[in-house]
Amino acid sequence: MLPPTYPSTLPPLSLYIHIPWCVRKCPYCDFNSHLADVGSADSESIPEKAYINALLEDLRKELVAVRGRALHSIFFGGGTPSLMSAAGIGEIINFVKANIQCEDDMEVTLEANPGTFEQAKFAGFLEQGVNRLSIGVQSFDDACLQALGRIHNASQAKIAIRKAQQLGYGRINLDLMHGLPGQSLETGLADLEQALAFGTDHLSWYQLTIEPNTEFHSRPPNLPNEDILFDIQDQGQSLIAAAGLSQYEISAYSTVGNQARHNLNYWGFGDYIGVGAGAHGKVSHWLGDNMVIERRVKLRQPKAYMKAISPLASSHCVTPGELQLEFFMNALRLQQGVGTECYTAHTGQPLSSVEAAIFAARKAGLMEQHRLQASPLGWRFLNDLLAYFE
């Protein structure tokens, strides 16, 4: 029998940790977030210590499936991870480092709100091993922030960014939205100009969308018309390029070499462990000559998650028929796409299984010739391109 032709290696491995606490539920948010008066005895608050204990037990079980692999990145998302204490974040990071091999230059990102309460902990997060901060600015316009239900104001956002820079965070992402209620072309571009003036190495800039099961869906706000949205996007792209940031994903921009490693792993169809209430994970392993890819979802409600003997809500092994669309939905979000070798390396399937779809997409002018990469036309009409892989 001939030896298997598939690679024996596995995709890079990341860790996502979900912290579902929020002081207020924003009207546009469809993430798994829950109101909590942190530190109070209120029945709606989530006790930090109990939640950390549940997280670590969850992680201990997840690590069984990835023995021998090295961790590429950690991402604390939410919710509002910066509501946790620095000591609590440090306890989780230390547990990770003690129980799985970590790459020497492992990226550790924490999402933070710019409010005064969170700012006071920035130094502690840095000391505990967070080396990348993602600050949820959303806007520098107080009227827009109020319409979005944010609890910080523009002044606090500016102070938070400067503080993170002064503390020595070498890598900072600013999270900014456009197409906001009552926003004009002028105010939309002014927001962007203020963000770029800080000179951070990464920007997430994306249009507000109205999602089901949100307050904005049931009570839609007055949003800018299509002409204004187009002009903000078009002129905003020019401003970002002039500031020295390059677009590498649909809503992500960075200076050279400062792309978000964690998110690059997602979009490159890498593996990631997911722990925390409602967290999703994707882990691959070889079974003989076949790569098995399992998606796992944890219990969504924090109280149920903390009480459960097993926090797993569901698991699903991705079928070969599902793989190609899942892979291309991620990889084609990257402006440079991925190399052709990535398909087999990260799915275990031969490239020949998708060659017909690739050929048709290239013939239509939607994909480049020598990589798994959308052409400029394909990136503009990404849904039409993805239809070839359904």
The CATH number given to whatever domain includes residue 253 is 3.20.20.70
**Which residues, in sequence order, are CB contacts of 44 under 8 Å at separation 6+?**
34, 35, 36, 37
So what's the pLDDT on residue 40? 43
Query: Could you tell me which residues are beta bridge partners of residue 316?
Result: 295
So what's the pLDDT on residue 21? 85
> Has residue 270 been placed in a domain?
no
> How many Å apart are CA 23 and CA 36, to the nearest integer?
6
> Has residue 293 been placed in a domain?
no
So what's the pLDDT on residue 43? 39
> How many Å apart are CA 137 and CA 156, to the nearest integer?
9
So what's the pLDDT on residue 45? 62
> Has residue 359 been placed in a domain?
yes
> How many Å apart are CA 52 and CA 112, to the nearest integer?
18
Q: Tokens 């979000």 appear where?
A: 333
> Has residue 76 been placed in a domain?
yes
**Which residues, in sequence order, are CB contacts of 290 under 8 Å at separation 6+?**
348
- Which one of 223, 248, 265 terminates a domain? 265
Is residue 324 domain-shared with residue 253, that is, in the same domain? no
Is residue 26 domain-shared with residue 90, that is, in the same domain? yes
So what's the pLDDT on residue 5? 44
- Output the CA torsion 173→174→179→185 (10° steps): -120
Nearest to 385 by CA among 371, 365, 370: 365
> Has residue 313 been placed in a domain?
no
What letter represents residue 164's amino acid? A
So what's the pLDDT on residue 37? 57
Three-state DSSP string of the chain: CCCCCCCCCCCCEEEEEEECEECCCCCCCCCCCEECCCCCCCCCCCCHHHHHHHHHHHHHHHHHHHCCCEEEEEEEEECCHHHCCHHHHHHHHHHHHHHCEEEEEEEEEEEECCCHHHHCCHHHHHHCCCCEEEEEEECCCHHHHHHCCCCCCHHHHHHHHHHHHHHCCCEEEEEEEECCCCCCHHHHHHHHHHHHHCCCCEEEEEECCCCCCCHHHHCCCCCCCHHHHHHHHHHHHHHHHHCCCEEEECCEEECCCCCCHHHHHHHCCCEEEEECCCCEEEEEEEECCEEEEEEEEECCCHHHHHHCCCCEEEEEECCHHHHHHHHHHHHCCECCCECCHHHHHHHCCCHHHHHHHHHHHHHCCCECCCCECECHHHHHCHHHHHHHHC
Is residue 334 domain-shared with residue 198, that is, in the same domain? no
Q: In total, how many domains does the chain have? A: 2
> How many Å apart are CA 101 and CA 120, to the nearest integer?
31
So what's the pLDDT on residue 191? 97
Is residue 334 domain-shared with residue 254, that is, in the same domain? no
> Has residue 7 been placed in a domain?
no
Is residue 81 domain-shared with residue 210, that is, in the same domain? yes
> Has residue 73 been placed in a domain?
yes
Is residue 251 domain-shared with residue 375, that is, in the same domain? no
* Tens-digit pLDDT string for the chain (390 aa): 333 444 458 999 999 999 998 887 787 777 777 776 544 434 346 689 999 999 999 999 999 999 999 999 999 999 899 999 999 999 999 999 999 999 999 999 999 999 877 888 999 999 999 999 999 999 999 999 999 889 899 999 999 999 999 999 999 999 999 999 999 999 999 999 999 999 999 999 999 998 888 888 888 888 999 999 999 999 999 999 999 999 999 999 999 999 999 999 999 999 999 999 999 999 999 998 889 999 999 999 999 999 999 999 999 999 988 999 999 999 999 999 999 999 999 999 999 999 999 999 999 999 999 999 999 999 999 999 999 999
Q: Which domain holds residue 93?
A: 13-265
